[in-house]
């Protein structure tokens, strides 16, 4: 296996055993970027000299964490000191961050190698940028964490940081065939992240294995992983969700096959329908996002409205018209569903739900839809997408597991069992 294809777990083990250096791993990742970036276009900025200098420094000191010497790509709405901070918008062309975001500072503290900044859509919203799906360059990689998902999928780096306001970690991870994890709300600190929606924005992790996520989360949170009881046969609620009519044939086939496979492997799989209150959750997410995102763009709307994309412009009047009464009602809907969801997780370890409507669409003018992710983002619960099959074009299709709020490591233990059963 080429060094750039190593998982975090394997690279960590080899470095700990003295069989691999941070410089060797960084060089392999940089070589892959040089070879593939003209096609995939995952990066806004890569500083090879700085990355190698970081790697040499890490090789000269004791190991700090499981991410010591591991190359990481950072989505370009997350600040990295002395690197571009352009947020996918011409308004910020040439802008550079003075300081590291809290999550980047935590990565540095753990000895990770910051390779550079990965492509984001405009302000982590819907306007697509230049990145292509590495499995087929005519297809979208998803968004808004486009570059982080594509870069991990194409073996440019083993770990990418993304953010999710609707489905911006899980959808591109599903489209690109990697593991995307959105932790419980605010588990990863957001200081230094360009705000979109303060009630929804969540920093997430993208890697190629569940173990890689489990190794990374304590480092980026600067908090030791809690003890989790050994995972037995998980209790899985197969939940089609109120959004099921939006599922394409590929998603339906993959998730139904996954439910059958998990049951044969010994999981307790039960068909489950969410309570009626959840029918209003998608609309509630939309109202919260509209109200908060419009106000988050106050500076840009005042100083450079002409530089806001043509795809975002038509949405602004609706966002501006969102009333505080509608916003409060939406927040109350979320709070009610959060209470009901706590009861659901007394009987189940995870919900099995779709990750995306289907495989990545054949377009570079859209990043797809957050149909099956947005309600879980609004509910603040952890969610993870796992590669589970392919669609008619041969592109990846994922399945999503959702856990109880704060039970991030329990969900990761369940996901590890599920991932192994599905492979």
The CA angle 96-97-103, to the nearest 5 degrees, is 140
Task: Give 57's contacts (C-beta < 8 A, 6+ positions apart).
Answer: none
* Burial (0-12, 13-18, 19+ Cβ within 10 Å), 319: middle
Active site residues: 75, 144, 168
What contacts 403, CB < 8 A, 6 or more positions away? Answer: 345, 349, 350, 351, 381, 382, 383, 410, 411, 414
Q: Which two tokens stand for residue 414?
A: 């369940």
Give the relative orientation of helices 146-153 and 22-40 as an angle to the nearest 10 degrees.
Answer: 120
Listing DSSP states for 23-85 in one string gives: HHHHHHHHHHHHHHHHHH--EEEE-HHHHHHHHHHHHTS---STTTT-EEEEETTB--BTSB-
SS3 407: coil
Point out which residues pair with 270 in neighbouring strands: 237
The H or E element that residue 115 is part of is strand 113-118
- CA–CA–CA angle 164, 99, 117 (5° rounding): 50
| Gap between the Cα atoms of 301 and 322, Å rounded | 16
Alpha-carbon dihedral sign for residues 155, 48, 119, 44: negative
């Amino acid at each position: 296996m080429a060094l750039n294809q190593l998982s975090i777990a394997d690279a960590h083990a080899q470095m700990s055993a003295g069989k691999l250096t941070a410089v060797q791993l960084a060089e392999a990742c940089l070589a892959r970027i040089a070879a593939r970036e003209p096609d995939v276009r995952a990066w806004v900025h890569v500083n090879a000299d700085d990355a190698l200098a970081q790697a040499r420094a890490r090789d000269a000191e004791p190991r700090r964490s499981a991410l010591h010497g591991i190359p990481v790509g950072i989505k370009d709405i997350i600040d990295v000191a002395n690197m571009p901070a352009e947020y996918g918008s011409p308004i910020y062309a040439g802008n550079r961050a003075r300081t590291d975001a809290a999550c980047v500072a935590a990565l540095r503290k753990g000895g990770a190698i910051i390779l550079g900044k990965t492509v984001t859509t405009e302000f982590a919203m819907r306007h697509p940028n230049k990145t292509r799906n590495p499995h087929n360059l005519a297809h979208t990689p998803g968004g808004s964490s486009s570059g982080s998902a594509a870069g991990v999928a194409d073996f440019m780096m083993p770990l990418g940081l993304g953010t999710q306001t609707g489905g911006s970690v899980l959808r591109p991870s599903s489209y690109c065939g990697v593991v995307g994890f959105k932790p419980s709300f605010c588990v990863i600190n957001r200081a230094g992240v360009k705000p979109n929606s303060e009630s929804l924005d969540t920093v997430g992790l993208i890697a190629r294995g569940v173990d890689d996520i489990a190794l990374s989360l304590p480092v980026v949170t600067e908090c030791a992983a809690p003890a989790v009881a050994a995972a037995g046969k998980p209790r899985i609620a197969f939940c089609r969700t109120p959004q099921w009519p939006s599922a394409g044939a590929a998603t339906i086939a993959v998730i139904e096959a996954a439910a059958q496979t998990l049951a044969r492997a010994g999981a307790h799989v039960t068909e489950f329908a969410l309570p009626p209150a959840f029918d209003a959750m998608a609309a509630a997410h939309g109202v919260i996002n509209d109200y908060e995102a419009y106000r988050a763009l106050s500076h840009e709307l005042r100083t450079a409205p002409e530089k806001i994309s043509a795809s975002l412009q038509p949405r602004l009047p609706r966002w501006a018209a969102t009333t505080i009464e509608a916003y409060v009602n939406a927040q109350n809907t979320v709070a009610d569903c959060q209470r009901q969801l706590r009861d659901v997780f007394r009987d189940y370890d995870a919900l099995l739900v779709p990750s995306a409507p289907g495989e990545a669409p054949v377009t570079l003018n859209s990043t797809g839809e957050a149909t099956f992710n947005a309600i879980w983002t609004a509910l603040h619960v952890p969610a993870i997408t796992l590669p589970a099959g392919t669609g008619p074009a041969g592109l990846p299709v994922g399945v999503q597991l959702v856990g109880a709020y704060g039970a991030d490591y329990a969900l990761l233990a369940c996901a590890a069992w599920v991932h192994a059963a599905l492979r």
